[in-house]
Amino acid sequence: MGTRAGGRRTGPKCIAIVGPFASGKTTLLEAILARTGAIPRQSPVSSGNTVSDHSPEARAHAMSVEATFATTDFMGEQITFVDCPGSIEFAFEAEPVLAACDLAVVVAEADEKKIPALQLIMRKLDDLAIPRILFLNKVDKAIAGVRETLKMLQPASSVPLLLRQIPVRKDGIVIGSIDLALERAYIYREYAESQVADIANDDKARELEARFSMLETLADHDDHLMEQLLEEIEPPKDAIFDDLSADLRAGAVTPVLIGTAEKGNGVLRLLKAIRHDAPDVEATRKRLGAPDGQTVVQVIKTIHTAHGGKLSVSRVLSGQLADAAELFLSNGDTAKVSGIYRMLGKDQIKLTSAKAGDTVALGKLDNVKTGQTLSSAKGGIRPLVTLEPPQPVFAFALRPKERKDEVKMSAAIQRLAEEDPSLSLRHNQDSAETVLSGHGEMHLRVVRERLEGKNQIPIEGHAPAVPYRETIRKSAQQRGRHKKQSGGHGQFGDVVIEIKPLPRGTGFQFSDTITGGVVPKTYIQSVETGIRDYLRTGPLGFPVVDVAVNLSDGSYHAVDSSDMAFQMAAKLAMKEGMAACSPVLLEPVMKVEIVTPSDATSKIIALIPQRRGQILGYDARPDWPGWDVVEATMPQAEIGDLIIELRSATAGVASYKAAFDHMAELTGRLADEAMNANGKAA
């Protein structure tokens, strides 16, 4: 264990690395691991040899597709870093991680296009009350000054971005940084510790101005510091560091450090800030409301390995954990630990025990899921984290190319859903399809690649069937007679029915006006059964809705009539009568709520009519500066790949929610295409 200023001892930390897509998170983790000696050298992402992004899918697409864990030691303290995906399609990976981590390092760059993505991340940290440090990456490539960049990024943060370092430039090139708290310059050395230097005369005025601005922000939360500034008294450095640490932990400010992860620049100062200023597991335990005096473990990720079986990556919030320990879930189930492992990407090191603060992988907790809380207390404790995946926005129907793989595919998807709780799987009874839903085209592409690669199951996939229905526009009366004689008892059923359209959304209604017993009561139910059976597939090939059928007349035979005969007669009457009722196709229309950055609202409004949508209105998104909400109705058939176009128009950040609104008539070419795709023609 290490010590902080004031002598307070701290335990192992868990730090999430988050940020917009391609901001340099994986590169930063690689630089950290190299600087702390966990790996011999820093590898570029392009090499395919980084500790993070080790899966074939991540390397194939050059992007993080899952949270990756790496534990290292720095100055006598153990720190687990979690590299979280930056794409919104894989954002849910970070939710269980963030809940149990002590601090987030937000990796950002001077790119205005990425501000909405940064805002999404900052808002999630606000919601979870996670302290954060912003690491301004790629400063060697930034054109604007650091303070100008912070003004640009500030709208993404609900709390002040507090600049702790300014760059040192030579001939316009960033060669180092000045720490505003230490008042010390550091000259970068590629992949090595920076060299301490005096602040050059040319930089002193700039440093004093930036330092005073930092102190002014800190003084907003420290009256004594405010008095010192007003009286032009130089505050002690220890007091400044105490304020920096206290304001960070309280979430009052977001300190900003600078560097270039690709060259390992600025990494050591970041590590020291994490070591001295980040809260520890005690603060995290209190934030989550975990009880003291017992072992409490929060599961933050599930991994199915090729040879080691299931691993439940977990944060030990309190107590001690030994191998073979028995833990309890809130539902009363028990789970026995079978192996404790320290993680470094895809590699694991076996341990005999874990203590409060450790982030470890626990083996073979078969009945345990991501997000669950385990405890040494019999009967368990209440769950500390509630995971609520966002509504899926993309889906495909899938089946194995070979029927013999159906059971294998089902088991594989179940494992994938354990690893990624944001996946949704359902069976559509109408279309007999297995439909997998997720958060974007790339999200589901990765799932398919894992089924075909990791699980060796060739897959066929296509867009899910749209649940079309059909109804009628006119009324008709029809007789249906089923008569058959083939030796012995024959078959006889005779019905007269009246078919009428009903208002949209009414469903199906059956009645009878039989008098004189022309159709015995015992067979009236058979007639309804036959009609309902027919309505499963109408003349256009789809289930029939919003129809009323009345049984008005008929006849029977004392010997040859039967339940089945009247069912057949009813079906015949429906088949012939429906054709005379002007059948028409109905398509489901959804109410869609799209959230988008305001500068892309006009693009979104323009694309809605292109998808046969109708705009209901748009307004500012409540409590989200710079965002709008667009409401519209849109046929479900047009929504299948809507998210691809929305994301393309918004640098990957727009999303939507959809709910069924009503059924609408569909005619002409689109109706013909729907019927032909269903194997029917009008």
In the sheet with 394-400, reading across from the earlier edge strand, the strands are 424-428, 433-438, 394-400, 459-462
* Topology match between the domains 289-375 and 470-581: no
- Nearest-angstrom CA–CA distance, 326 and 588: 51
Residue with tokens 């900003």: 256
Structure tokens of 52? Answer: 């993070």
Q: 490: which residues sit within 8 A by CB, 6+ positions away? A: 483, 484, 557, 559, 560
> H-helix or E-strand containing 15?
strand 13-18
The residue ranges of every structural domain in the chain are 2-284, 289-375, 396-462, 470-581, 586-677
Please list the alpha-helical segments (H only) found in 420-537: 441-452, 521-534
> Beta strand 173-179 with 334-336: parallel, antiparallel or unpaired?
unpaired
Neighbours of 16 (CB within 10 A): 26
Residue range 289-375 in CATH 2.40.30.10: yes
The model's confidence at residue 10, banded by pLDDT at 50, 70 and 90, is: low
Assign residue 26 a region: left if phi > 0, alpha if psi is -120 to 50, beta otherwise? Answer: alpha
- Which CATH number does 2-284 carry? 3.40.50.300
Q: State the distance between the two ends of the chain, measured CA to CA, in whole angstroms.
A: 76
The model's confidence at residue 283, banded by pLDDT at 50, 70 and 90, is: very high
- Nearest-angstrom CA–CA distance, 261 and 107: 10
Q: How distant, in Å, are the alpha carbons of 43, 180, 183, 212, 230 from that of 206?
A: 35, 10, 12, 10, 20
Residue with tokens 């390092």: 105
Give me the pLDDT at residue 6, please.
39
Residue with tokens 């035979």: 557
- Which CATH number does 470-581 carry? 3.30.230.10
Ordered DSSP codes for 233-301: PPPPHHHHHHHHHHHHHHTS-EEEEE-BGGGTBTHHHHHHHHHHHS--HHHHHHHHTPPSSS-EEEEEE
Fold (CATH) for 396-462: Alpha-Beta Plaits (3.30.70)
* Averaged pLDDT, 346-374: 96
Give me the pLDDT at residue 233, please.
93
Average pLDDT over the chain, rounded to whole?
94
Radius of gyration (C-alpha) of the chain in whole angstroms: 32
* Averaged pLDDT, 276-289: 96
Return the DSSP state at 544: B
Structural contact between residues 142 and 159, judged by C-beta atoms closer than 8 angstroms: no
Q: Estimate to the nearest angstrom the gap between the alpha carbon of 54 and the chain centroid.
A: 20
Structure tokens of 293? Answer: 């005096």
Give me the pLDDT at residue 428, please.
87
Determine phi and psi for 42, rounding to 5 degrees. Answer: -85, 125
* Averaged pLDDT, 206-212: 95
pLDDT digits (tens, 9 = 90+) for 563-583: 999 999 999 999 999 999 999
- Nearest-angstrom CA–CA distance, 346 and 507: 54
pLDDT surpassing 50 at residue 1: no
The model's confidence at residue 238, banded by pLDDT at 50, 70 and 90, is: very high
Percent of the chain with pLDDT over 70: 98
* Averaged pLDDT, 357-362: 98
> H-helix or E-strand containing 356?
none
pLDDT digits (tens, 9 = 90+) for 68-93: 999 999 999 999 999 999 999 999 99
pLDDT digits (tens, 9 = 90+) for 465-518: 999 999 999 999 999 999 987 766 789 999 999 999 999 999 999 999 999 999
Give me the pLDDT at residue 558, please.
87
- Nearest-angstrom CA–CA distance, 52 and 65: 10
Give me the pLDDT at residue 598, please.
96
Give me the pLDDT at residue 488, please.
66
For the whole model, what pTM was predicted?
A: 0.92
pLDDT surpassing 80 at residue 450: yes
Compute the CA torsion angle 268, 273, 276, 277 (nearest 10 deg): -160
Which CATH number is 586-677's, of 3.20.20.10, 3.40.710.10, 3.30.70.240, 3.30.565.10? 3.30.70.240
Q: 158: which residues sit within 8 A by CB, 6+ positions away? A: 122, 123, 126
pLDDT surpassing 90 at residue 651: yes
Q: 494: which residues sit within 8 A by CB, 6+ positions away? A: 479, 480, 481, 482, 483, 554, 555, 556, 569
pLDDT digits (tens, 9 = 90+) for 615-625: 999 999 999 99
* Averaged pLDDT, 251-257: 97
